Amino acid sequence: MGSPSHGHQMGENMSTLLIFAVLSAVIFLFVRDKAYFPARPYIKAAMCFLLSLYCLSLTPLPTPHHQAVGYVLILMAIGFGFSALGDYFLDFPKEKYFLAGLIAFFAAHIAFAVYLWPHMVPLSAFTLIEWGLTLGLIVLTLWFYIWIRPSLDKELVVPVAAYCIIITIMGIAALTTTLRSLWVPVGAVLFIASDVVLSIDKFRQDVTFPGPIKAGQINWVLYASGQILLAYGVVASMTTIP
């Protein structure tokens, strides 16, 4: 068992990583609409890379399931690692690597879902609230896919459908989680909302967003907030962080 000073040091390292992740997100918000420069994809990817390290630096509470903590951390770190890769690919001009970015985020959602699924309320214990959240998300996702499908290029019809399925599974697991931090479902909802904004902006040019704020800025704020809160919520649920 580590000493209190060791635990305190690890706690400080975690806080530093989270702060730098937030700063990275803010920096990218200000440079995303500037003329493209070679370092920009790396700036965009930095946030999720730091969140991956943040999850790996978790100091768990002593519990009977202590041995399983490392496995959980690896799953979340992998998810944020794939997210960083997706951010990197999607920031290239002319959407050169859009499909690669979509695949990376698909893999990220698999990792998140695999982590969150065992922490769900069991189906046998679902109340009207859990059933309502689950069915509501399924219906909304299905409706959104049907609405956006006519605007998709032929080669994207199946990948986007697969992505909708996996993000719905991740969302259901987050909305019905038994993890103690409310930031887990909040982060997942913001993440899903960011994908909705991104999809509308990319595939439905006939839909415009009101006001002076660009769709890309809305997307990034939702996405970055969702990822940061998801990481914070998972860590908070397994440590003494409030």
- Ranking 8-22, 36-50, 191-205 by mean pLDDT, the lowest is 8-22
Q: Is residue 242 part of a domain?
A: no
Q: Is residue 143 part of a domain?
A: yes
**Secondary structure of residue 47 in the 3-state scheme:** helix
HSE, side-chain direction, 13 A CA sphere, residue 89: 15
What pLDDT is attached to residue 205?
Answer: 72
Q: Is residue 96 part of a domain?
A: yes
Q: Is residue 115 part of a domain?
A: yes
Q: Is residue 171 part of a domain?
A: yes
What pLDDT is attached to residue 93?
Answer: 86
Tally of domains within the chain: 1
Q: What is the pLDDT of residues 96-154, one digit of tens each?
A: 888 899 999 999 999 999 999 999 999 999 999 999 999 999 999 999 999 999 999 89
Taking residue 214's Cβ as centre, other Cβ atoms within 10 Å add up to 13
Residue 66: pLDDT band with limits 50, 70, 90: very low
What pLDDT is attached to residue 68?
Answer: 47
Q: Is residue 130 part of a domain?
A: yes
What pLDDT is attached to residue 59?
Answer: 52
Give the global pTM: 0.87
As a whole number, mean pLDDT of residues 189-197 equals 95
Is a pLDDT exceeding 70 seen at residue 163?
yes
User: What percent of the chain shows pLDDT beyond 90?
Assistant: 66
Q: Yes or no: say if 186 and 233 are a contact pair by the CB < 8 Å rule.
A: yes
Q: Is residue 80 part of a domain?
A: yes
Q: Is residue 138 part of a domain?
A: yes
Mean pLDDT of the chain: 87
Q: Which domain holds residue 177?
A: 4-237
Q: Yes or no: say if 144 and 103 are a contact pair by the CB < 8 Å rule.
A: no
Q: How far apart are CA 234 and CA 230, in angstroms?
A: 6
Q: What angle do CA 115, 88, 199 make, to 5 degrees?
A: 75
Taking residue 127's Cβ as centre, other Cβ atoms within 10 Å add up to 10
What pLDDT is attached to residue 63?
Answer: 52
